[in-house]
């Protein structure tokens, strides 16, 4: 999910509500370049990325997982 908007428009609060609502039922891979917006969820996150290299590695891994799942679905 990508959330964009002007400064002060409520992006961080929206993200916190979203994370709070799924934290018990989803694996969270959080990207927090400011290191402040989602840091309280770090203990429950599967991954917590702040550096560009970490984010690129995470996206690459998730892409591979996604393609593997598509392959399994399409072969049924």
Q: What is the pLDDT of residues 26-52, one digit of tens each?
A: 999 999 988 988 899 999 999 999 999
pLDDT for residue 63: 96
Tens digits of residue pLDDT in 5-25: 999 999 989 988 999 999 899
Q: How confident is the model at residue 56 (pLDDT cuts 50, 70, 90)?
A: very high
Q: Output the DSSP codes for 13-42.
A: HHHHHHHHHHTTTS--EEE-TTSSSSGGGG
| Domain range summary for the chain, segments of one domain joined by + | 11-74
- What's the token pair of residue 63? 């892409």
pTM score, whole prediction: 0.74
pLDDT for residue 2: 78
């Amino acid at each position: 999910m990508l959330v964009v908007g002007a400064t002060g428009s409520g992006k961080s609060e929206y993200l916190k509500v979203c994370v709070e609502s799924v934290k018990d039922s989803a694996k969270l891979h959080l990207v927090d370049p400011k290191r402040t917006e989602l840091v309280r969820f770090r203990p429950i996150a599967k991954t917590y990325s702040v550096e560009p290299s970490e984010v690129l590695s995470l996206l690459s891994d998730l892409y591979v997982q996604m393609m593997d799942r598509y392959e399994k679905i399409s072969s049924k």
